Structure 1
Amino acid sequence: MSQQDRLDWDTTYRGVDVAAGEPRLPAVFAAHSDLFPTTGTALDIACGTGAASVWLARRGLRVHGMDVSPVAIGHCGELAVRHGVAELAQFGVVDLDGGLPAGPSVDVVLCHRFRDRRLYRPMIERLASGGILAVCVLSEVGAAPGRFRAAPGELRDAFAALDVIDADEGGGQAWLLARAATTAWR
């Protein structure tokens, strides 16, 4: 990501009143909130101000959130402290143009409103056996094409190796909720 992009995101997040918001799962996944585990680990890619990360931590998960904006990451830490989950939530500034940083398998991978096709395979690879993937991106379906928008069927195709729980696309948005296969030990 260019330095200008980072500065633009910092400017966007400077105007956010973190105290006004409540931790929450992105609305597209809210109907499936009961499927998210209450123990384990989670990775929140492009976490913004941390609303979903803190929601996951309040649920009982150890969460690592990452975003390109240092301002957003500062907000994440404030939100985690305010909701008593600072010990469960860790945040870092990451430029995802360099790829998804290496790390252990996690029980949840959440990526809301960030799209980089190069990260799809690493997102699958980071999921633990039986782990949940929740991804939502801008879409060409119901909107004009653009470089940040997914083509029709892109998420289903990219994550075909997972067991899809639910998915939809339309109104300029595509989302998918899926589970990694459970590894059976003999």
Structure 2
Amino acid sequence: MDWNERFAASGPGEPGPPGVLVGRMDLLPTTGRALDVACGRGTVAVWLAQRGLTVDAVDAAPAGLALGRELAAREGVTVHWVEADLDEGLPVTGGYDVVVCQRFRDPALYRPLAGLLAPGGVLVVTVLSVVGDAGGRFRAGPGELRAAFADLDVLVDEEGGGEAHLVARLD
């Protein structure tokens, strides 16, 4: 899949939270630093900035980042956009109060993602899952997220309909 082509055809989108946080906004702080990993068009990054967080957003696709910049400008918020290939690791250093990673699964990044959290920081992860789906090489197995982030205080752990969601806090 060519993400640049996909993003170029999609438009900038609208700011919004990760689905797992709908009805659970109280789990996130409204101040501090936030990181959106594999941010795509930046809809979550812009939403985090609207909540009052200082946001870094990382993606490998220049077209997605351009749409994110357009959305941030339209919404009047600032986001620090970083173009980076996540297969080469995370291009940021820690101390984040919120780390979000939506629909990008790389188990090699699980420990580094948790390592970016500041004390009390919240991690929000959604990946494709075999639970409730036919499966495939990009899908997490049952319980994968809970096991990967067992050192964190798990606040939400849901699997089904082909997705797995985890919200956890570093105590």
| TM-score, length of structure 2 as denominator length | 0.97
Corresponding residue of 1:165: 155
Q: Aligned ranges for residues 1-186 of structure 1 at < 5 Å?
A: 8-18=2-12, 21-86=13-78, 89-181=79-171
CA distance in 2, matches of 1:132, 1:147: 27
CA distance in 1, matches of 2:92, 2:18: 25
Task: For residue 31 of structure 1, give the secondary structure of its aligned residue in structure 2.
Answer: coil
CA distance in 1, matches of 2:92, 2:57: 14
Task: For residue 13 of structure 1, give the secondary structure of its aligned residue in structure 2.
Answer: helix
Q: Is this contact kept in 1: 2:94–2:115, CA < 8 A?
A: no
Tell me whether 22-31 or 111-120 shows the greater mean CA deviation. 22-31
Corresponding residue of 1:184: none
Residue by residue over 1:118-137, the C-alpha shift from the partner in whole angstroms, topping out at 9 and shown as x without a partner, is 00000111000000000000
Q: Which runs of 5+ in 2 are unaligned?
A: none
- The amino acid that maps onto 1:136 is T
Task: For residue 135 of structure 1, give the secondary structure of its aligned residue in structure 2.
Answer: strand
Q: Which runs of 5+ in 1 are unaligned?
A: 182-186
Q: Number of residue pairs matched?
A: 171
Q: Identity of paired residues, percent?
A: 53
CA distance in 1, matches of 2:133, 2:16: 26
Residue by residue over 1:62-120, the C-alpha shift from the partner in whole angstroms, topping out at 9 and shown as x without a partner, is 0000111000000111111111112xx11111100001124131000000000000000
Superposition misfits of 4+ residues, deviation over 3 angstroms: none
- The amino acid that maps onto 1:56 is L
Deviation (angstroms), 1:22: 2.1
Deviation (angstroms), 1:25: 0.3
CA distance in 2, matches of 1:179, 1:31: 18
Deviation (angstroms), 1:28: 2.1
Tell me whether 98-107 or 34-43 shows the greater mean CA deviation. 98-107
